[in-house]
Chains A and B, each alone.
Chain A
Amino acid sequence: EAQVTQNPRYLITVTGKKLTVTCSQNMNHEYMSWYRQDPGLGLRQIYYSMNVEVTDKGDVPEGYKVSRKEKRNFPLILESPSPNQTSLYFCASSLRRGTGETQYFGPGTRLLVL
């Protein structure tokens, strides 16, 4: 089954404790991205990647890192999480960067930073 998977689905952590949220897709997609969803703000893009070893900042990149060493994986790293990063995070992928491409979303990771 074609899908985007994220782990963990739920995570509670404390301020300053490094964490990684994994994202993997099995559709051989070139383009992957991370979003955060906050009430009343919709989805905002954190980082995106157009292919292996090619990443760029989205609209809200502060406090986050990403890497794209393999085509299928695009982990999101919070080096020193803070309470304002408490949010619902989605990974998404599409075949390529093109403007008409459909993005496929993972199920989400709900993060609480105490």
Chain B
Amino acid sequence: AQSVTQLDSQVPVFEEAPVELRCNYSSSVSVYLFWYVQYPNQGLQLLLKYLSGSTLVKGINGFEAEFNKSQTSFHLRKPSVHISDTAEYFCAVRTSGYSTLTFGKGTMLLVSP
């Protein structure tokens, strides 16, 4: 079975500060990892995904994530956040041959001036 743990339910930061949102997964087989963002009153949209190859993945809006197989992690980072980055962020995992995308419980990023 696959599972995802997002270690922080809320992360408050000041504008222009760096941020890291943590995600750990559990799976005994190869994984495909995703980060989605949900802005207030909207559906989810894909930020970035890791399928294979380079472990550093760049996404939209200046976000990037690093796949670490030994730590079973896929943390999301941004070097300088904006007020407009305030949203809920979901990490998700899918394993080879399994159709369900399993989501973490989400991390609310709160950016203040």
Contacts and interface: CB of A to CB of B under 8 A. Distances in A.
A103 B49 contact: no
Interface in A40-93: 40-45, 48, 50, 58-59, 90, 92
B45 A99 contact: no
Contacts, number: 53
A102 B9 CA distance: 24
Q: Which of B36, B100, B104 has the most CB of A within 10 A?
A: B100
Contacts of A44: 103
Contacts of A100: 32, 49, 51
A66 to B, nearest CB: 15
Contact of B45 (A35, A105, A108): A105
Given A40-B9, A107-B43, A99 B103 contact: no
B16 to A, nearest CB: 29
A92 B41 CA distance: 16
26 contacts: A40-B105, A41-B105, A42-B6, A42-B104, A42-B106, A43-B90, A44-B103, A48-B99, A50-B99, A58-B100, A90-B43, A90-B44, A99-B51, A99-B97, A102-B46, A102-B49, A103-B44, A103-B101, A105-B43, A105-B45, A106-B43, A107-B42, A107-B43, A108-B41, A108-B42, A108-B43
Interface of A: 4, 31, 35, 40-45, 48, 50, 58-59, 90, 92, 97, 99-100, 102-103, 105-108
